[in-house]
């Protein structure tokens, strides 16, 4: 396999793991899960949900990237979740059942597999993207939390696959399944999960699945039903909060009480607020379909938090969540272009020609790895003065919308109907600037 020019068209996708593995390790389905050190790629967009990758410095090119194994799966969009010795993947089978598998990280061998009925339908105008699973699971080192299309969340023992509990949000709150399926990915923070479900944000005890509170409740029509974005935990204006992007609004919620600390409506097209909110200093950056990019500033006044729009500009994201490096957001837009936006001013520093329908982005220092929806992996330098591609290569021959994840010197790529493991040997890298 050879590197290609940074402007060659492509095909596939990827998602990756965290924690180093012992080659050739034999595992039984009931074997204890190896301890993660450093923490695994354990949830949507990584441990901090911002695409940041810790670990060995990346090489300066994609030379030497080799596939270790590949396993065929049912269709699905969830990114892989990776522990020290295993990889968890979620799929939909041909009958529409939700399926979760634990694979040996070293070999791809199936350690355990569980399934349950979860057939869903989506509106006809969304049928081109299928009715298969979308939500990326969360992993706390012992338990894996998996959401299906019908807004059921199931907790599995990571070692054995034994079910620990399940929550049917529809039954618990008297709501209906989201029109477009359960697309939001649960947030793991401490002893709790925060889930955008039942047209709201719900805090669950991760040991039992019991609800602690329900907040930010919306109407249940098609414009409000379900959520496309996923929540993040952050400290803003001196207050820890869950930042949640609903179909209509951006809000901060107190993680202890569930009180909405601040909320602001943002322009949207048919509720298609999809990107993960990105926290930068005391602001939140969002970029949504057909409605531009916005920086929302949160400040305290008379003991209360309030949100104001610091700036808005026309660059419109769609499904790709950005990475922020040195005060600049690198955002893949709905028109296929990549742009660099100065978060302090809202100035667009540069914009490329179209480069695919979707990118998943991760970063380390001044390097960005980007996987597009047709299977091209790109290595870029984060450069506010110009688009600076360093290398690219094809890593899959099929559609790939699962999020890229990186763990140590390994990548795990989720194609629509497969997952593959890649090793990226450590090697000389150009100086990596701290963000």
The DSSP annotation for 355-408 comes to --S-EEEEEETTEEEEEETTSEEEEEE--TTS-EEEEEEE--SS---SPPEEET
Q: How confident is the model at residue 267 (pLDDT cuts 50, 70, 90)?
A: confident
81: left (phi over 0), alpha (psi -120 to 50) or beta: beta
In whole angstroms, how large is the CA radius of gyration of the chain?
A: 20
Tokens of 28: 């039984």
- Token pair, residue 70, equals 């590949």
Structure token pair of residue 288: 């949504």
The residues near 220 (Cβ < 8 Å, ≥ 6 apart) are 175, 176, 199
Cβ atoms within 10 Å, residue 113: 14
Q: Which residue has the higher pLDDT, 122 or 48?
A: 48
Looking at the predicted structure, is the pLDDT value of residue 224 above 80?
no
Model confidence at 7: pLDDT above 60? no
Q: What mean pLDDT, rounded, does the chain reach? A: 88
pLDDT tier at 426 (50, 70, 90 boundaries)? Answer: low
Classified as helix, coil or strand, 351 is strand
Q: What is the pLDDT of residues 36-86, one digit of tens each?
A: 654 589 999 999 999 999 888 898 999 999 999 999 999 999 999 999 999
Residue 22 CB coordination number (10 Å): 11
CATH level 3 topology of 66-423:
Methylamine Dehydrogenase; Chain H (2.130.10)
The pLDDT, as a whole number, for residue 39 is 58
Cα atoms found within 13 Å of the Cα of residue 292, Cβ hemisphere only: 13
- Domain ranges across the chain: 66-423
Q: Which two tokens stand for residue 247?
A: 């179909």
pLDDT reported for residue 25: 35
pLDDT > 70 fraction of the chain, expressed in percent and rounded: 88
């Amino acid at each position: 396999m050879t590197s290609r020019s940074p402007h060659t068209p492509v095909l596939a996708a990827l998602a990756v793991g965290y924690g180093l593995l012992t080659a050739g390790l034999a595992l039984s389905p009931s074997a204890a899960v190896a301890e993660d050190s450093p923490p695994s790629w354990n949830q949507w967009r990584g441990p901090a949900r911002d695409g940041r990758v810790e670990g060995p410095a990346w090489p300066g090119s994609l030379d030497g990237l080799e596939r270790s194994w590949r396993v065929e799966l049912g269709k699905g969009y969830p990114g892989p979740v990776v522990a020290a010795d295993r990889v968890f993947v979620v799929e939909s089978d041909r009958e529409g059942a939700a399926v979760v598998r634990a694979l040996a990280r070293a070999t791809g061998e199936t350690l355990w597999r569980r399934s349950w009925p979860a057939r869903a339908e989506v509106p006809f105008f969304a049928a081109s993207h299928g009715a298969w699973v979308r939500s990326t699971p969360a992993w706390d080192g012992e338990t894996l939390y998996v959401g299906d299309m019908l807004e059921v969340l199931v907790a599995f023992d990571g070692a054995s696959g034994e079910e620990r509990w399940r929550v049917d949000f529809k039954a618990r709150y008297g709501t209906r399944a989201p029109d477009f399926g359960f697309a939001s990915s649960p947030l793991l923070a401490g002893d709790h999960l925060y889930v955008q479900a039942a047209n709201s944000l719900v805090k669950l005890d991760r040991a039992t699945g019991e609800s602690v509170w329900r907040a930010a409740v919306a109407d249940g029509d098609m414009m409000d039903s379900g959520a496309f974005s996923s929540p993040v935990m952050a400290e803003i204006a001196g207050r820890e909060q869950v930042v949640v992007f609903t179909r209509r609004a951006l809000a901060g919620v107190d993680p202890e009480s569930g009180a909405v600390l601040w909320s602001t409506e943002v322009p949207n097209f048919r509720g298609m607020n999809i990107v993960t909110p990105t926290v930068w200093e005391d602001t939140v950056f969002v970029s949504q379909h057909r409605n531009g990019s916005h920086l929302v500033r949160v400040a305290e006044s008379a003991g209360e938090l309030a949100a104001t729009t610091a700036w808005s500009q026309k660059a419109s994201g769609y499904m790709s969540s950005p990475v922020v490096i040195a005060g600049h957001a690198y955002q893949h837009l709905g028109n296929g272009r990549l742009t660099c936006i100065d978060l302090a001013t809202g100035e667009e520093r540069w914009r490329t020609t179209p480069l695919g329908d979707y990118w998943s982005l991760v970063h380390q220092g001044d390097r960005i790895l980007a996987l597009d929806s047709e299977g091209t992996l790109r290595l870029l330098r984060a450069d506010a003065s110009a688009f600076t591609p360093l290398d690219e290569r094809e890593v899959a021959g099929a559609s790939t919308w699962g999020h890229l994840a990186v763990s140590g010197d390994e990548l795990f790529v989720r194609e629509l109907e497969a997952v593959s493991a890649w090793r990226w040997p450590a090697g000389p890298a150009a100086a990596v600037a701290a963000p």
